[in-house]
Structure 1
Amino acid sequence: MKRLYYLTSNIDSADLISADLHKEGVSDWRFHIMTKDEAGLYHHHLHGATPFHRYDIIHRGEQGALLGITAGLIANLVLLLTGMVDSLGLFTMLLLTTVFAMFGAWVGGLVGLAHDNYKIERFKPELAKGKYLVMVDVKKAEEEKVRVAMKRYHPEATLLAADSPFSNPFVNRITAKASN
């Protein structure tokens, strides 16, 4: 699966892209449009970006879970080495690590609400100008078909990037900026 990022300058173009993507078999669940004109998307019945697209909830949640797992394992080790607990059962150790991981994911997700999605951050200057970012998730087999259709029917839409739709918890914001 790949996410294609197209940029267009007006709502009418985004509306036509939506119609053409439907003709190509791309469902509403696989493409989203991000813009500062949310009312325009609503009035044109276009599928806008979700909070998971806009904010770094998933990415930071994954990082928080990894930190929580690490903290849980360290807590288990400390409890075992200090003799505070003679022998923790495997279930107790797993439970403690799971609680730490869940707490880390929750805190990470809350932190992510305060930050823009690290994959979208590079497009912020264009979005601030009022442009429309069309994100299309395509399967490997249909990627070329979508690219050809977009090039043929929508030369006004610029392909800015192709990336994975999945978050990588090992990528930090500085690394993501440097790779652009």
Structure 2
Amino acid sequence: MKRIYFLVPTVEIAKTIVDELLLARIEERHIHILAKHGTPLEDLPEASLLQKSDFIPAMERGLAVGGTVGTLAGLIAVALGPISLVVAGGGIVLAGGLAGAGVGAWLSGMVGLSVDNSRLKHFEAAIERGELLMMIDVPRDQVARITELVSTHHPEAHPEGTEPTIPAFP
């Protein structure tokens, strides 16, 4: 999946685009709209905490760092421990890596929930001016079709590019 970004000037235009996306078989759960605080979105699919916060990028970083630290801790335990640890060394290193990855992802994810999404900083000024940020998650082979559909039907909606990969769970 790839995420396509559009800046849309009004709620009415956003409603029309959402209707067209639904007709183009893009599920509502793959459409996220972020607006200035206090903007009435009515029945538009509002961006959730996962899209508004830095949860996913923070979790990715924590998973990598925690897994590395856990693996290193497992290797040190095997190298410095008694001979019985050396025999079970592979399991200890694997367990250390998995435990470190889990704890790192959990802790950094909790921190990421309290931080604004760093990927959306580019759009802050436009959102503060009253524009709506529309994020649409589509399969890779449909990016060009959906971008063209929105751009041709709504020239006032400005395509702002794509994000390379979207995790399956947000």
TM-score bracket for the superposition, by shorter chain length: 0.7 to 0.9
Q: After the TM superposition, which segments of 4 or more aligned residues of structure 1 sit over 6 Å from their partners?
A: none
109-118 or 143-152, larger mean C-alpha shift = 143-152
Contact 1:37/1:130 (<8 A) preserved: no
Q: Are residues 9 and 141 of structure 1, via their aligned partners in 2, closer, same or farther at CA, if it must alter by over 3 Å?
A: same
What is the alpha-carbon distance in structure 1 between the residues aligned to residue 8 and residue 76 of structure 2? 55
Give 1:133's aligned residue.
133
CA deviation after TM superposition for structure 1 residue 143, in Å = 2.5
Contact 2:59/2:109 (<8 A) preserved: yes
Length, aligned pairs only? 165
What does 1:45-84 align with in structure 2 at a 5 Å threshold? 45-84=43-82
Matched, 1:25 2:25: yes
The percent identity for this pair of structures is 27
Contact 1:3/1:162 (<8 A) preserved: yes
Matched, 1:123 2:123: yes
What is the alpha-carbon distance in structure 2 between the residues aligned to residue 36 and residue 8 of structure 1? 12
Contact 2:75/2:93 (<8 A) preserved: no
- 1:64 alignment partner AA: G
CA deviation after TM superposition for structure 1 residue 10, in Å = 1.3
Contact 1:5/1:161 (<8 A) preserved: yes
- 2:68 alignment partner AA: T
Gaps of 5+ in 1: 168-180
What is the alpha-carbon distance in structure 1 between the residues aligned to residue 5 and residue 116 of structure 2? 16
CA deviation after TM superposition for structure 1 residue 15, in Å = 0.8
Please report the TM-score for the alignment, with normalisation by the length of structure 1: 0.82
- 1:36 alignment partner AA: K
- 2:80 alignment partner AA: T
Q: Are residues 73 and 143 of structure 1, via their aligned partners in 2, closer, same or farther at CA, if it must alter by over 3 Å?
A: closer
Give 2:40's aligned residue.
40
Quote the RMSD (CA, aligned, Å).
Answer: 2.0
Contact 2:2/2:139 (<8 A) preserved: yes
- 1:128 alignment partner AA: E
